[in-house]
């Protein structure tokens, strides 16, 4: 168990050292302990918006069969000797209780509030089960609190700079779209396609209602709005051209239509007074 557990802890140590220069690259081996589950409690720096009951039950089933393969990361609770706050691994702790374990493996780190927040965010961001909005909000907290560049942040959490940048762009979407991503209704790819589009909330509703894939969403977001002939009536250029041809045939003269957002004009070209006289008789019903 110790060999499996050390790799993720060391990875976290490298990420944390990118944020906190004096953080140790690896945890003190002597800090790995076995503690009663009741001596632990959720920490105040959890980036998750909520924990899915089904996933915890699945993890509990795995723990019953294989045990806890990665220790929980914790610090001693300020002012409460013998009690510990979880920095990383709250799902494992909850699943261990569901699996009716009495003791769990814990790595104890001596961290202040600022360092504990960084460690909790890094530990969770290095995992793959945060939704895209939780990930983006975690990146923003680390950037704001530690003044990192996106490249250094990527090194801390094991991601590319472009991945960090693209994830952070999701924060520019309106709240209704961000909620769709949080709830798993829209993927991060769908959401990124809507960034910069006019009225992304309306477009997101169309994406969900029509079940569009990411490529179709990109096409929807970049499509130019069609001109309108009147209240709610579409007027694409080919329809205007067809209307010009029809009117020209009816009156026997060249008809042109110019349409814009605030209306337009219809013009009929004649060559001599005889043509004008014939047009007047036609329009007045005189044949």
Whether 115 sits among the annotated catalytic residues: the reply is no
CA gap 177, 62 in Å, rounded:
34
3-class secondary-structure state, position 254: strand
Q: Which residues of 27-53 are buried (b: 16+ CB within 10 A; e: fewer)?
A: beeebbeebebeebeebebbbeeeeee
Q: Which residue, 111, 98, 97, is CA-closest to 13?
A: 111
Q: For residue 160, report the phi and psi dihedrals to the nearest 5 degrees.
A: -75, 160
Q: Active-site residue among 41, 57, 58, 90? A: 90
Residue 195 burial by Cβ neighbours in a 10 Å radius (0-12, 13-18, 19+): middle
Q: Which residue, 234, 225, 186, 182, is CA-closest to 206?
A: 186
Annotated active-site positions, please?
A: 90
């Amino acid at each position: 168990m110790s060999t499996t557990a050390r790799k993720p802890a060391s990875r976290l140590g490298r990420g944390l050292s990118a944020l906190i220069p004096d953080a140790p690259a690896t945890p003190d081996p002597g800090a790995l302990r076995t503690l009663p589950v009741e001596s632990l409690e959720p920490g105040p720096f959890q980036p998750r918006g909520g924990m899915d009951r089904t996933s915890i039950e699945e993890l509990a089933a795995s723990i019953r069969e294989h045990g806890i393969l990665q220790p929980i990361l914790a610090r001693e609770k300020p002012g409460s000797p013998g009690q510990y706050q979880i920095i990383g691994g709250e799902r494992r702790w909850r699943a261990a209780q569901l699996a009716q374990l009495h003791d769990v493996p814990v790595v104890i780190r001596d961290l202040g509030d600022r360092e504990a927040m960084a460690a909790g965010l890094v530990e969770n961001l290095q995992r793959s089960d945060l939704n895209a909005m939780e990930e983006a909000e975690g990146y923003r907290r680390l950037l704001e609190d530690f003044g990192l560049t996106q490249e250094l942040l990527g090194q801390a959490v094991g991601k590319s700079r472009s991945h960090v940048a693209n994830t952070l762009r999701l924060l520019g979407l309106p709240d209704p779209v961000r909620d769709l991503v949080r709830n798993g209704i829209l993927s991060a790819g769908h959401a990124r396609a809507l960034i910069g589009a006019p009225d992304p909330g309306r477009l997101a509703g169309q994406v969900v209602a029509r079940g569009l894939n990411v490529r179709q969403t990109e096409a929807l977001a970049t499509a130019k709005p069609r001109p309108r002939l009147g209240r709610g009536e579409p007027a694409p250029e080919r329809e205007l051209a067809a209307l010009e041809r029809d009117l020209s045939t009816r009156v026997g003269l060249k008809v042109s239509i110019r349409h814009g957002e605030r209306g337009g004009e219809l013009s009929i070209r004649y060559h001599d007074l005889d043509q004008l006289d014939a047009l007047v008789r036609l329009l007045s019903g005189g044949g």
